[in-house]
């Protein structure tokens, strides 16, 4: 075992997860690919095995220590270099995942990750959430929408809730300002048909504070949301 094995082992053990050798190797290979790509490291903001495992892989997989994800289609909105979507996909091979990102180069990178890791039941949605959210094939389609480090909660609510099916859930991965952000987002959440269900605060293995907010979709989103590209960020649905 080299030190990278230990890093992953610590993540898996502290989350109380059990994963087989195939998933273990896929997680390692994914981190290896991230480490090889300077542009990706810039996006993720970190470039050491320690930080990739103890911060980003840990954070991505934390959700699995909280809940069992139902076997619905899952969307990662603003996946970037594949966080949290790729680690979750690796650990949930039976689930169908969609990775969405406005940046085509990132989607192309993720197609390569998919090939190299031999991932299945994985689809890509290149483009903006404002546009996918108004596409009848994708609007209110996903039983679970996850999103990490994409936009303030007030903006994300308008991007994510229209893509979530009634009865489904939107999972906001947030940092230390999470509570404040969610307070600010309460009007946008209710306008778009959501209701805050629960919140879990935790620390990464690096010590940083995080929280996961679970928002239930309780009624259909009115047809005017999401508004056109850029509008949710420029004129957030605040009080
Ligand atoms: N979730 C990743 C990436 C965060 S960076 C992580 O945790 O590391 C934010 C990503 O969201 C970028 O790749 C950006 O292209 C994408 N993004 C931002 N606004 C978007 C929108 N409106 N629609 C689709 N993708 C968006």
Going from the first residue of the chain to its last (239 residues), give the mean pLDDT of each consecutive group of 10, the final group possibly shorter: 78 96 97 85 80 96 96 97 98 98 96 98 98 98 97 97 98 95 96 97 96 98 98 91
What does the pLDDT read at residue 187?
97
Closest approach atom of ligand 1 to CA 101 = 25
Cα–Cα distance between 152 and 173 in angstroms, integer?
Answer: 11
Cα–Cα distance between 197 and 104 in angstroms, integer?
Answer: 33
Strands 194-203, 209-217: pairing kind: antiparallel
Cα 38 from chain centre: 22
Q: Which of 31, 63, 97, 102 to mutate to test the pocket of ligand 1 (most atoms within 8 A of CB)?
A: 102
The class (CATH top level) of 69-228 is: alpha beta
Residue 122 and residue 89 in contact, taking contact as beta carbons nearer than 8 Å: yes
Cα–Cα distance between 73 and 96 in angstroms, integer?
Answer: 5
What does the pLDDT read at residue 206?
94
Cβ(76) – ligand 1 distance below 6 Å: no
Q: Which of 52, 78, 132 to mutate to test the pocket of ligand 1 (most atoms within 8 A of CB)?
A: 78
Cβ(107) – ligand 1 distance below 6 Å: no
CA distance to 55, 102, 132, 167, 238, per residue, from 154 (Å): 25, 19, 18, 21, 7
Cβ(80) – ligand 1 distance below 6 Å: yes
DSSP annotation of 224 reads: T
What does the pLDDT read at residue 2?
56
Number of C-beta neighbours around residue 141 at 10 A: 20
Number of C-beta neighbours around residue 220 at 10 A: 14
Cβ(102) – ligand 1 distance below 6 Å: yes
Cβ(55) – ligand 1 distance below 6 Å: no
With H, G, I as helix, E, B as strand and everything else as coil, classify residue 230: coil
Ligand 1 centroid from CA 59, angstroms: 16
Cβ(103) – ligand 1 distance below 6 Å: yes
Residue 231 and residue 130 in contact, taking contact as beta carbons nearer than 8 Å: yes
What does the pLDDT read at residue 239?
64
What does the pLDDT read at residue 45?
78
With H, G, I as helix, E, B as strand and everything else as coil, classify residue 213: strand
Rounded to two decimals, what is the model's pTM? 0.97
Cα–Cα distance between 73 and 100 in angstroms, integer?
Answer: 13
Which token pair is 93?
Answer: 């091979």
């Amino acid at each position: 075992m080299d030190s990278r094995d230990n890093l992953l082992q610590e993540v898996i053990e502290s989350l109380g997860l059990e994963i087989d050798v195939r998933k273990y190797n896929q997680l390692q290979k994914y981190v290896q690919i991230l480490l090889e790509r300077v542009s990706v490291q810039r996006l993720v903001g970190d470039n050491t095995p320690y930080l990739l495992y103890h911060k980003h892989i840990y954070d991505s997989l934390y959700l699995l220590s909280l809940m069992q994800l139902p076997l619905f289609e899952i969307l990662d909105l603003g996946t970037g270099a594949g966080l949290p979507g790729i680690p979750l996909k690796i650990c949930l091979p039976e689930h169908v995942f969609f990775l969405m990102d406005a940046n085509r180069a990132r989607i192309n990178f993720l197609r390569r990750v998919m090939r190299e890791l031999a991932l299945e039941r994985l689809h890509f949605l290149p483009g903006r959430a404002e546009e996918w959210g108004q596409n009848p094939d994708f609007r209110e389609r996903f039983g679970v929408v996850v999103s990490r480090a994409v936009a303030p909660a007030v903006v994300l609510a308008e991007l994510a809730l229209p893509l979530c099916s009634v009865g489904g859930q939107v999972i906001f991965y947030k940092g230390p300002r999470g509570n404040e952000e969610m307070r600010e987002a309460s009007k946008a959440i209710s306008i778009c048909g959501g209701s805050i269900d629960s919140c879990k605060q935790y620390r990464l293995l690096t010590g940083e504070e995080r929280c996961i907010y679970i928002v239930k979709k309780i009624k259909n989103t009115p047809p005017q949301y999401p508004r056109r590209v850029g509008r949710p960020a420029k004129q957030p649905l605040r009080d």
